[in-house]
Amino acid sequence: MRLSNYFIPTLKEDPAEAEVISHKLMIRAGMIRKLAAGIYDYLPLGLKTLKKVENIVREEMNNAGAIELLMPSVLPAELWKESKRWDFYGKELLRFNDRADREYCLGPTHEEIITDIVRKEIRSYKQLPINFYQIQTKFRDEIRPRFGVMRSREFIMKDAYSFDATDEAADKSYWAMYEAYNRIFERCGLEFRAVLADTGNIGGSFSHEFMVLAPTGEDIIMSSTDCDYAANLELAEIGVSDNEKEKERPQKDLKPINEVSTPGMKTVEEVAKFLNGSDGDLIKTLIIQTDTEPVAALVRGDAELSLTKLRKVLGAEYVELSTPDVIQEVTGGPMGFSGPVGLKKKIKVIADKSVRNIQNAITGANKADMHITGVNPGRDFEADLYADIRVARDGDPCPQSNGTLVSTRGIEVGHVFKLGTKYSEAMNATFSDIDGKEKPFIMGCYGIGIGRTVAAAIEQGNDEAGIKFPLAIAPFEVTLIPTNMKNENVKTISDDIYSALKAIGVDVLIDDRGESAGIKFKDAELTGIPIRITVGPRTLENGEVEIKTRMDNESRNVKIEEVVSEVEKLLL
RNA sequence: CGGGGUGUAGCGCAGCCUGGUAGCGCACUGGUCUGGGGGACCAGUGGUCAUCGGUUCAAAUCCGGUCACCCCGACCA
C-alpha cells in the first residue's frame, strides 16, 4: 500500500474524550472515530487490524471443525419470547417496531436464532455434533459504554454454537473450543489466561473466560501460586485456611452476650473502632433478596460478600441487596444494625465458613443504634449453612493446592460456556437419538470480541510513542520510509524494495508522502507497525538501509540486497 | 438510573467570574527555504460560541429548558 493513496489520519494530541491508553491510541493512530456513545467508525487502518484478528479466528474455528454462517442482526421478538429472554434480558436489548408494528430487537447474541435454525434443519443424532459460527456486528445497549471499543454498544463478535447428542460429546465440543481459543490468542501474540467464570445471564453449567493480562483491565483474576487454578474474582474459591481447620476450637473465655449502645454507627469500621475491636471481630449481616425470599448472609467484618457465590450456593436465579423496607420487616431494625441474633422473622441464614470460628463477635442488635458483643456462633445463633460466600483476597489459600491466591487484572476477550439444554428445551429443539427418542440438543456457546481483542493487544503493547502491535495482528507487517522524496536515489531504491517485498507477499506500507522524515517516524511508531525500513541518503552512502523493530525499538543497518531476506527472517 | 463535569474553527484549548471587537496552538490553502525525529519564514481560509427560550440598549458570557458527550457509582457475554 502506498500511503499517498491511503488514509491514516493521525493526531498529535490525545483526544479529550478518551481515558484509557488503547482508546487514545486507536483514535490517534487513525484506526477509529466515535460516531455516538459506544458506537465507532472503523477507519481503514482499524479495519485492517480487525480483519487480521478475524482471519486468525476464522482459520482456527475452521480447523476446529466449526462451520461459518451468517445470521441477521435484526431479530424478531417471537424467538426471544420463546426463550423468555425478551423479558429477562432487560434494557440492554435494543427493541423497536417496524411499519406493521411488529416487534424486533438488535441481536446482542444469537442463541435463539441458531437454535431455531438447528431445530428446523437437524433431525438426527447422525448429523451431530455440529458447531456453527459467525463473525458479525452485535448491539448491546450498555448502561455505560466506555473505554472506546473495549466496552462499546455496537461491536464485532465471533460467536459459535455447538450442538451435541450427549453430555460427553458436548464436553468434547467445549474443550475443542477451549483449545481453539488458546491457539487463537497465542497466534495473536497476546499474554492471556483462561480462567473459571460465572455463567451470568447467558445461563449454563460452567464456563471459562479468556483474559488478556493488563494492569488496566476491568476484571480481576485470582490465580494460584502453586498450581494452574485461576478464576474470576467474583467466584474464585477459597481453600480451607489454618484456623478453619481447627474443629476443636478453644472454648475458653466465651463471654455472655451484651447489648451496647453504638449511636449512629453503621459501618464496620466505626463500630469496631468504637468498641476497641478489629474489623475481623464483627460479623456483618446482609439481608439479601432472592427469587423467592429474603435470606441473611453473614461474613466477617473484614470480608466482602460475593453475590455470585451466594447465588450459586442458594441455586437462585437472582440475588441482590434488600431494600431498607425489607430489612426493617425482616430484622425489626433499620439498615446498618442487622445481626443474626433475634431476627424478627425466621429466615434462612447463610454464613461464610470463616464465621464459624469467630469468638465473642460483635453483631448488630436489630435495633437502631445498638450492637451486641460476645456473640458466639453455635451458642447464640445457628446458621442454616456454612459455605464459601466471601470474595477472595490476595493471600487466601488456593482451593486446589497448598499455594495462595494472587490477583491480576485482565481484559475479557473470549468466553466459552457449556449451556446444556437451557435453550433447546425452552425452544423445543430436539433430535431423534439412536434409541429413537426425541431429545433436546446439548449446547455450548463461544464468543470472542474481535474489536476488544485489538484494544486489549494495544493495552498490552504500547509505549510513549504509540502502539506496539504483535506481528500477527498488526495492520501492516512492514512500513517503508523514504526520508526524502526529492532525492531520486532514495525514491528509486525505496520503490525497488517496496516492489520486492510485495512480490513475496509481505504486507508493506510505503510512506511516500512529501512529509519530513520526523513526521513519518512519528506516524510509524504511533501506528505500531512491527518492522520499519528507513531509506535515506545517510545509510545509502554505504549501500545500506536501516531496519528497526517496533517491539524492542532495536535498529541496525543492512545491505540493500539483503533487506528482503532480513525481513523474511523477521516475519518467521 | 443516582452523583459530578463539559459543549467556542477539523483537533486540543483560552475567553465566561466582572455582558460591549471571538482568540491561541496544531491542522488546512498558496509561496520560499529545509529534508534522519511532529522544521522555519511570509501570506491566507475557516466559527449560527450545542440548541431553544428569557433578562438586557447589548449575551459565548447572566437565568431557565432541552440535547449531546465525558467521568465516578450501581450494572455488565
**pLDDT tens digits for A284-298?**
898 888 878 889 999
Q: Which nucleotide is nearest to A18 (CA to C1')?
A: B70
Residues 6+ apart with CB under 8 A from A571: A471, A477, A506, A531
Q: Which nucleotide is nearest to A197 (CA to C1')?
A: B77
pLDDT of A445 over the 70 cut: yes
> A490 CA, B36 C1': separation in Å?
12
Q: State the complex-level ipTM.
A: 0.94
pLDDT of A201 over the 80 cut: no
Split at pLDDT 50, 70, 90, the class of A200 is low
Q: A33 φ, ψ to 5°? A: -140, 150
Split at pLDDT 50, 70, 90, the class of A413 is very high
Split at pLDDT 50, 70, 90, the class of A134 is very high
Mean pLDDT score across all residues of chain A: 91
> What DSSP element (H or E) covers A259?
strand A258-261
Q: Class assignment of domain A476-571?
A: alpha beta
Which of the nucleotides in strand B have any atom less than 7 Å away from a protein CB atom? 1, 11-13, 25-27, 34-39, 68-77
Beta strands in A275-348 (DSSP E): 283-290, 294-300, 319-321
Separation CA A272–CA A289 (nearest Å): 27
List where CATH 3.90.960.10 sits in chain A. Answer: 242-387
Q: Which fold has domain A3-237+407-458?
A: BirA Bifunctional Protein; domain 2 (3.30.930)
A293 contacts A406 by C-beta, under 8 angstroms? no
Instruction: State pLDDT tens for residues A327-380.
Output: 888 888 888 888 999 888 888 999 998 888 888 899 989 988 889 999 988 889
Which residue places its CA closest to the C1' of nucleotide B75?
A143
Q: Which CATH architecture has domain A242-387?
A: Alpha-Beta Complex (3.90)
Split at pLDDT 50, 70, 90, the class of A301 is confident
Instruction: Tell me the C-alpha to C-alpha distance, in Å, between residue A77 and each of A74, A82, A83, A111, A113.
Output: 10, 9, 10, 13, 11
List where CATH 3.40.50.800 sits in chain A. Answer: 476-571
> A496 CA, B69 C1': separation in Å?
48
Split at pLDDT 50, 70, 90, the class of A460 is very high
List where CATH 3.30.930.10 sits in chain A. Answer: 3-237+407-458
Separation CA A170–CA A162 (nearest Å): 8
How much is the pLDDT for A489? 96
How much is the pLDDT for A101? 93
Separation CA A355–CA A68 (nearest Å): 51
pLDDT: which is higher, A81 or A280: A81
- CA–chain centroid gap for A43, Å, is 25
For residue A308, give the C-alpha cell. 455470585
> A18 CA, B46 C1': separation in Å?
26
pLDDT of A220 over the 80 cut: yes
> A11 CA, B14 C1': separation in Å?
21
